Amino acid sequence: MITEHCYKSILPMQYVLKYLCLSLAFLLPLTTHADFTGEVFFTKLVTKQEERKIFSEIWTTDIENAKSAHLLYRDEYEIHDYAIQKNGPLLVISAGPLTSDIFLLNRFQLGAGVSNLTKAKFGATAGVDISPNGDVLFSNSIVLFHEIPPIEGLYLIPNEELRKANPNVTLLKQGSIGYIQWSPDGHRFIYRTDKGLFLYNRFTREDSLITKDRLYPAFSPDGKKLAFIYQPILEPGVKIDVISLETLHPQIFPKDHEDHLRLSGLKWPKEKYFVYSVYDKQIKKTQHFVIRIDGGPPVQILKDVEDMFENGIRSFVLGNTTFAVEPMNRLTTLWGKLKQ
């Protein structure tokens, strides 16, 4: 039988146990658990032996459910580039043989068909992107046998023109244009030339050189910063550099990624996380990882989806996604029982 004195002496022990469990929880090594949800889009080539044709396809899948992967679009020619409207239904595609065009479709209304926005007027289209507001940017290159040689450069199709049979297309920059990407607010975009990476304001027409040697730029979710992958001179491995677009000065210095010597496809979907890709020579596949900006081990993502396809997923585009890295193994079960 427990006396009143014994019972009172037991009560403090409950709080001692709680304190010990909390202390042990913080001393134990943590296991990082990736919770990456939402949708991704990726391309793949399909060979039809009986038809002697190679088709380019765009697929989409739910990150948490690889079995949900399904075909979204198929083109009988090569898909050079494509982009998804953030928080919207539109998909833009640059595809074709020697001459190519920009195509538009509503991924929620596939039965409505595909619209050709450029109708063979711009030679060979290359890069393409669509802003959250629905404005389309694309670049092109000259095709020698084109009847009326187009001007090589960077073009804009405003969103109000997309439903027209012959949309008005505006030349923004002349010359050979490489990579293009809209900012999250749709007011600015970045583009690359042989002179470096530039930031262009659509409304003020302000044009600024950002960097000459950084690769794979990615806007921060708030559009105020840019991240890059770069190879420091005389240093091993690669680094991720972040600059402020207001001052053009380095703002954050993330942890070096010494275990991955070559990174590509940098993305910045959430404020605290980067997503990037690494080609593994041993398995001859590209693997995809997410990592915290302030450091920590890379966490592989999309492995179940990659395993569904013989050649894996070389690159992908993020749709509407959420991501969180939560600490595990903090004696949650024991603490849950004690606090009762």
Question: pLDDT digits over 170-202, tens only?
Answer: 999 999 998 999 999 999 999 999 999 999 999
pTM, full prediction: 0.80
Determine how many CB atoms are found less than 10 A away from the CB of residue 115: 17
Instruction: For the domain covering 11-338, report its CATH number.
Output: 2.120.10.30
Question: pLDDT digits over 29-76, tens only?
Answer: 333 444 667 789 999 888 776 666 778 999 998 877 888 889 999 998
Q: Cα separation of 9 and 27, whole Å? A: 28
Q: Provide the pLDDT for residue 146.
A: 62
96: CB partners within 8 A, 6+ apart:
77, 78, 80, 124, 125
Per the model's pLDDT, the better-predicted residue between 241 and 3 turns out to be: 241
Q: Cα separation of 248 and 199, whole Å? A: 11
Q: Where are the domains of the chain?
A: 11-338
Question: pLDDT digits over 90-139, tens only?
Answer: 999 999 887 789 999 999 998 888 999 999 899 889 999 999 999 999 99
The residue type at 4:
E
Q: How far apart are the first and last CA of the chain?
A: 24
Q: ∠ at Cα 81 (78, 84), nearest 5°?
A: 130
Residue 228 pLDDT > 60: yes
SS3 helix, strand, coil % of the chain, rounded to 5? Answer: 10, 45, 40
Q: Provide the pLDDT for residue 189.
A: 97
